[in-house]
Structure 1
Amino acid sequence: MIFYFLLLLPIGFIETQSLCKTPNTVYTCYVSYLERYGYHGDGSGYLPAFQSLDYQMRTHSLPVICSDFDKLTSCLGSSSTYCISYDVFYTFTRNQQEAMYYLQNHAFFEFVCGNGKELFLQNQICIQKSLGRISLTDRMRECGQPQFITNMPEKCPEILEVTNCVHEKMRVECGEVAGTATCGAATNIERRMQFLDAACLTEMDVRCSTNLLSLMFSILFVITYYFI
């Protein structure tokens, strides 16, 4: 595989579990999902250490991982809206670090296998090598990701600079498309942490895509000017 991106970012969270009405769906779907990677439920009611999933995922290609993740998403259904959260994962791991790993992993592949799939596939080799050297969450930390965050909208400017920085670093290494893809993945991790308001997250989405749109318009202009 593939994407070595996980590093625990210790963070304070708002309470979201109260909004989740079907937490057991997360457990049931994840047990089924983990069976694809060699884990079989032990009846304890807890998910296994994330390391076992991470190790197995590294042996699969992105298309295979996304095929499995799509099945997980389908199983979760509407539960993914409120039930994919730190609080719910903590319920089924009883460990802060493990809960964070599961949440970050889900947020990352939610974007990579969803809205960002085509972007990642366009430059998969370079992105893979780059994230193999420095993981995405390592990059976020290097770019100033605060270690302790609560539900404080005033943190928005600070976090916007983090995702901008992630975008720029990957752009330099692998090009604009890769920068946009990685920025989008970082934004989705921020989104799943659930401490920023909708306006801030929308601004992140816009900033991630603005440079790519500018590049596309520039290419279109050149084609129109010289060939039409």
Structure 2
Amino acid sequence: MGVLRGWLWRAALVIVATPLVLGLVYNIVPPVSTLMLARWATGQTVSRTWVPLEGISQNLVRAVLASEDARFCSHFGVDMVELQGVIDDSDGLDAPRGASTITMQLAKNLFLWNGRSYIRKGLEFPLALYLNAVMSKHRQLEIYLNIAEWGPNGEFGAEAAAQRAFGRGAGQLSPRQAALLAVTLPNPYRRNAAKPGPGLNRLAGNLLARLPREGPELTACL
């Protein structure tokens, strides 16, 4: 029994230490996401070409920030303003939905799994706080834009997304192309920036209309 308990403690230590160590390592090493690892493990294809943040169109950077996390530069990994709004709207009954910052999505993509659950959301919070403490906002966004799932056939990252949708690099996207890619992120399996329907065109148009009002604070920390 004592041996089993010892192994359980060691396993728990490894589980806790792994994201803490990787959070530091990923400051210098291009990471992969848990979804990418899962696809490789099941023999599925993965398309991802790492591009530094400076090589990604500012149109896409601004569009993703405005669409996914407009207060990215001002929060500490968790957006308490957005979180409080979700709690107020749902009376606390549906808190795992919404209020997910780019840092929280990064924590999920690097260390956790897809799906809505209180357990996963509870793990996202401390991991996001940790990543924000050990990783610059510049690096957080750079990693996010390079590991986000952006297509139904294993397309990950901005370069694969831009090539799939428009046949051009991530650094060459027009404002409208960037907006279309940004609004596909919530559901890349059903939304196709290459062939946008009326709903996707409307979402992209609304995002483009919002961008001038967001101001320079969107990218102030980059």
What TM-score comes out, normalization by structure 1 length? 0.29
